[in-house]
Amino acid sequence: MKALEIRELTLDQINDSLIRYKKEQLNLRFQRTSGQLENTARVREVRRTIAKLKTIYSEKSKLEEKK
């Protein structure tokens, strides 16, 4: 997910996406541990997407507080 796509979302949508990506991250960790993970690059993508979501969420929430 690109940063521009995330910025278009509302705070609730960002929060829902964050929950979805955290679940995916958990599943990927289990797959890696059991040796079933085929696409190892996906772990990195998910981790970075979670970071983007958290960053943009905090930026938007700070802007909402100022209003």
Q: Report the number of distinct structural domains present in the chain.
A: 1
Residue 6 is predicted with a pLDDT of 96
pLDDT along the chain (67 residues), means of 10: 94 97 98 95 98 97 88
**Could you tell me the CATH number of the domain that includes residue 33?**
1.10.287.310
Q: How far apart are CA 39 and CA 28, in angstroms?
A: 9
Q: CB count, 10 Å around CB of 1? A: 15
pLDDT for position 67: 73
State pTM to two decimals. 0.92
The boundaries of the domain holding residue 32 are 3-66
